[in-house]
Amino acid sequence: MRITRDELMSRIREGSLKGHVMCHGEEVFFHNQIISTLRKQYGGAGSWGFEMVDASALDPARLFSSAGTLSFGGGTKVTVIRNANRLNLSQLSGLEKIITNQSSERVVMFFAEKHLSQKNELLAWCRDKKMDICSLNPPKPRELVGWIKDLSREKGFSTDKETIDFILDISAGNIVAINQMLDKIDLFRGESNKISFADTQDLLNDSFEKKIFDCVNAVFAVRSGKVPRSQLDEVVKERETAALEMQRVLRFDPRDGILNLVRTISREAFNLLKYHELKIAGAGKEEIAKVLRLGASRKWLLERDYPARAARWPKERLHRLMLRLAEVDFSLRVSGRDAGAMLEQIVIGNLAPTSVEEYDEVFL
């Protein structure tokens, strides 16, 4: 039977889990949220009512035969199996003895950190065993505003529309980043239960997401090509700003910082490329907002940011930028080249990426 995430969370908080559950989806935030709630509700003293094991280390026979794995207090024992999509046939065969036994003493929860299609063999196996199935789909762009309001309410405060727009913009819709920002607001809000835009902007000024946001803005503000001599000082300042923001991002975490910058700049470049195509085709504002998936809360970008960016960034320049970002991504993952140095060349002047290394070394 299919159940929603809200239904599953309600059962967990009430301590009324019965049967067995399969959770699947790519949004790690929801996996961690459910597991954290399970541990809090069923862990208890000594965590007798909760255990977690990875599929690679799972021994179904030991799980089935050991009475010691049941809840010490005689209640429900919850067993969480991470990376369930990696379970082999032998393990599933062993788990079948537990899954077909609808005992109130044990609940087994499978977590597959990827979206499973309806034809997936594991999902078919779960349906055959009459397990509850919960798809952990992320909120759609149009649902994010309501989701942020609900999450803020759970944490005990409310935010205005301008604050939500700002959070959505700097997080680019990343669920984990949004939750981290709301946690930070919750931590520093004191007795205040209504957060204004000014408070939020000041508080998040030194966050990882805010620095990425600032760096991307600085990158798309950098001019290239021939400019009048009178504007050279301004161009140098733009490049220095972009380089400074990039270094601030990398101070948080060099590898993750580079990955996030490459991903975010690439996404913005691709959106700007689509914006060019739509404007040439004569599309209206509503159609452009729909294609770019801006949602009602981010339509203002079409008036404030996109026209100025499009004027600075013709299609040919965007193509070159995306190719160069792909080179940085490749260097970070499989080569010995200095990805940070390469990325800086792109950020400060949109130059072809070079490396401080004298040779390239690919690790196979």
> What would the pLDDT profile of 124-157 be if each residue is shown by its tens digit?
998 888 888 999 888 887 888 888 898 888 888 8
Q: Which CATH number fits domain 141-206: 1.20.1050.90, 3.40.50.2300, 1.10.8.60, 1.10.10.10?
A: 1.10.8.60
pLDDT mean across residues, the chain: 79
Question: Hey, which CATH number is domain 5-135, 2.130.10.30, 3.30.300.30, 3.40.50.300, 3.90.650.10?
Answer: 3.40.50.300
- Domain extents in the chain: 5-135, 141-206, 218-349
Please give the C-alpha separations between residue 229 and each of 221, 234, 238, 289, 313, in angstroms, as whole numbers. 18, 10, 15, 37, 20
**pLDDT at site 234:** 63
The pLDDT, as a whole number, for residue 344 is 80
Are the beta carbons of 178 and 209 closer than 8 angstroms? no
The CATH architecture annotation of domain 218-349 reads Up-down Bundle (1.20)
Closest CA to 33 of 136, 186, 146: 136
What is the structure's pLDDT at 52?
A: 85
Burial of 351 (0-12, 13-18, 19+ CB in 10 A): middle
Report the pLDDT value the prediction gives residue 67, as an integer from 0 to 100. 46
User: What is the model's pTM?
Assistant: 0.60
The number of CA neighbours under 13 Å toward the Cβ of 299 is 11
81, 58 in Cβ contact below 8 A?
A: yes
What pLDDT does 359 receive? 43
Question: What residue ranges of the chain have pLDDT lower than 70?
Answer: 44-47, 63-74, 102, 205-206, 224-236, 295-300, 336, 349-364
Residue 296 confidence (pLDDT): 61
